[in-house]
């Protein structure tokens, strides 16, 4: 069996994992991406095709507009209503680029002796639009997409709508949001496709348990790119209100164009002056194996997330696999990971002193035990083990 897999880039752990996942269920994975580094996955089971836009000319794709004229009119009406002329231009640009990608994919897969069993877009984005166009010529091939966060919730994107969403949904065999939260959003917004929208969670592997921090300084870890929606710069303000010494370790790089890093540095300096008993370590990006070694070798008492928006965070799945409790804002699908057994949820607008009180409640004999570590880990095993969840996804995808 052959699967055509499409994704923008292949650098996050969960994106790399998906190529391995496909290898466990299909004889051949044909990967299309814009990421030139993805050629490292080339093997007897994986063919990597890096698409480039140096041959793209929008004018050459204009014939596509005639082929999908009824859908074009519906799309332009929606774009004009929400985004005006600029929104309509954006929709046209998306479909022309998607048409170019579709033509490139079709040309490549026509060279294979067998027909794919599944077209698979890892993100519910423009790749899904391209595959929806290809589906017109391959009506018997399953066409599926995963859906995460910004590719689901339309209020997060420019003009408050995602171009060509109905066009995608009408041709998809099934849509697989990674959280129940995403599933309910899409089913409510697009009831005509509700029966084909099915939760299929991601997952992680087991790399060991984090040791219990017996008698040591209370240790907090956060793991995310430092940018506005992750709100890492709020953490020093929260730690200031804690009535005990803390070691805080943040893992993750930053976007040079985002002001959050400057804010974070300023807040850390204030914290150092006023609370010398709190140690803040911003250690930048780590490769996955180094993150796992940190979790495995350090007695981490809490994983902390104060994001204003999320999908279903893989970083939290990784933390609970090590038995580390999580304190998180109640956004996106976080409540599907953070339960009474695995940690605590806080409101997204919760004041810093109240968040500090929630952290303090984790600094107790109830949470800092090997038995609690095992309970947290067991929740991960029942819900977020990668190979189990992927097998379930493929079973659902191929049966539609």
Question: pLDDT tens, 245-295?
Answer: 999 999 999 877 888 899 999 999 999 999 999 999 999 999 999 999 999
Give the closest residue to 147 by CA, choosing from 126, 176, 173, 109: 176
pLDDT band at 99 (very low <50, low <70, confident <90, very high): confident
Find out whether 10 and 38 touch, Cβ atoms under 8 Å: yes
CATH class of domain segment(s) 218-383: alpha beta
Q: What sign results for the dihedral spanned by CA atoms 329, 330, 333, 334?
A: positive
What does the pLDDT read at residue 66? 61
pLDDT for 73: 72
pLDDT-derived band at 178 (thresholds 50, 70, 90) equals very high
Range 93-119 average pLDDT: 90
Segment 145-160, tens digit of pLDDT:
999 988 999 887 777 7
Q: The tokens of 227 are what?
A: 């940018």
Q: Residue 150: what pLDDT?
A: 87
Average pLDDT over every residue of 206-232: 95
The CA-CA-CA angle for residues 192, 196, 199, to 5°, reads 125
Neighbouring CB atoms inside 10 A of 249's CB total: 17
pLDDT for res 276? 96
- Give me the DSSP letters along 102-129: HHHHHHHHTTSSS--SEEEESSSSHHHH
Task: Tell me which architecture the domain covering 2-203+386-399 has in CATH.
Answer: 3-Layer(aba) Sandwich (3.40)
pLDDT at 56: 65
Is the sign of the CA dihedral 156, 134, 119, 3 positive or negative?
Answer: negative
**CB proximity list for 287: less than 8 A, separation 6 or greater:** none
Identify the weakest region by mean pLDDT among 112-126, 137-151, 157-171.
157-171
Higher pLDDT: 71 or 174? It is 174
157 close to 124: Cβ distance less than 8 angstroms: no
Instruction: Give the chain's mean pLDDT.
Output: 91
Q: Which two tokens stand for residue 128?
A: 């899904």
Percent of the chain with pLDDT over 90: 75
Q: How far apart are CA 311 and CA 148, in angstroms?
A: 5
359: pLDDT strictly greater than 90: yes
Task: For CATH 3.40.50.2000, list the domain ranges present in the chain.
Answer: 2-203+386-399, 218-383
Residue 61: what pLDDT?
Answer: 58
Q: Calculate mean pLDDT across residues 16-26.
A: 90
pLDDT digits (tens, 9 = 90+) for 27-86: 999 999 999 999 999 999 999 999 987 766 655 555 556 666 676 677 676 666 666 777
User: Span 114-118, mean pLDDT?
Assistant: 94
Strand segments (E) across the chain: 2-6, 28-33, 46-50, 118-121, 142-147, 174-177, 218-223, 246-251, 278-282, 302-305, 326-329, 343-346
Cα distances (Å, whole numbers) of residue 313 to 9, 19, 224, 285, 335: 18, 19, 10, 17, 11
């Amino acid at each position: 069996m052959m699967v055509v897999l499409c994704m923008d880039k292949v650098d996050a752990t969960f994106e790399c994992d998906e190529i391995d996942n496909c290898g466990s269920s299909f004889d051949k994975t044909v990967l299309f991406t814009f990421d030139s580094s993805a050629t490292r996955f080339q093997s007897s089971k994986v063919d990597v095709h890096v698409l480039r836009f140096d041959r793209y000319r929008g004018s050459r794709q204009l014939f596509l507009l005639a082929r999908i004229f009824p859908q074009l009119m519906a799309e332009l009406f929606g774009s004009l209503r929400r985004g005006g002329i600029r929104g309509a231009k954006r929709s046209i640009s998306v479909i022309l680029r998607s048409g170019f990608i579709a033509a490139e994919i079709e040309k490549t897969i026509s060279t294979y002796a067998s027909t794919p069993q599944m077209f698979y877009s890892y993100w519910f984005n423009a790749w899904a639009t391209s595959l929806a166009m290809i589906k017109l010529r391959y009506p018997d091939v399953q066409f599926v997409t995963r859906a995460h966060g910004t590719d689901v919730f339309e209020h997060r994107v420019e003009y408050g709508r995602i171009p060509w969403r109905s066009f995608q949904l009408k041709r998809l065999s099934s849509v697989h949001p990674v959280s129940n939260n995403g599933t309910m959003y899409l089913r409510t917004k697009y009831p005509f496709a509700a029966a084909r929208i099915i939760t299929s969670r991601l997952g992680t592997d087991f790399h060991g348990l984090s040791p219990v921090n017996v008698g040591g300084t209370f240790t907090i870890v956060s793991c995310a790119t430092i940018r506005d929606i992750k709100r890492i710069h709020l953490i020093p303000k929260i730690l200031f209100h804690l009535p005990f010494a803390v070691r805080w370790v943040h893992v993750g790089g930053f976007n040079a164009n985002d002001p959050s890093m400057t804010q974070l540095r300023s807040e850390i300096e204030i914290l150092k002056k006023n609370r010398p008993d709190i140690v803040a370590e911003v250690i930048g990006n780590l490769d996955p194996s180094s993150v796992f070694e940190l979790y495995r070798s350090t007695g981490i008492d809490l994983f902390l997330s104060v994001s204003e928006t999320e999908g279903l965070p893989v970083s939290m799945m990784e933390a609970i696999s090590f038995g580390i409790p999580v304190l998180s804002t109640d956004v996106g699908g976080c409540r599907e990971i953070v339960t009474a057994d695995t940690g605590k949820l806080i409101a997204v607008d919760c004041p810093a002193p109240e968040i500090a009180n929630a952290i303090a409640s984790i600094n107790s004999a109830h949470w800092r035990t090997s038995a609690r570590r095992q309970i947290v880990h067991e929740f991960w095993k029942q819900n977020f083990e990668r190979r189990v969840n992927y097998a379930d996804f493929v079973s659902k995808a191929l049966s539609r």
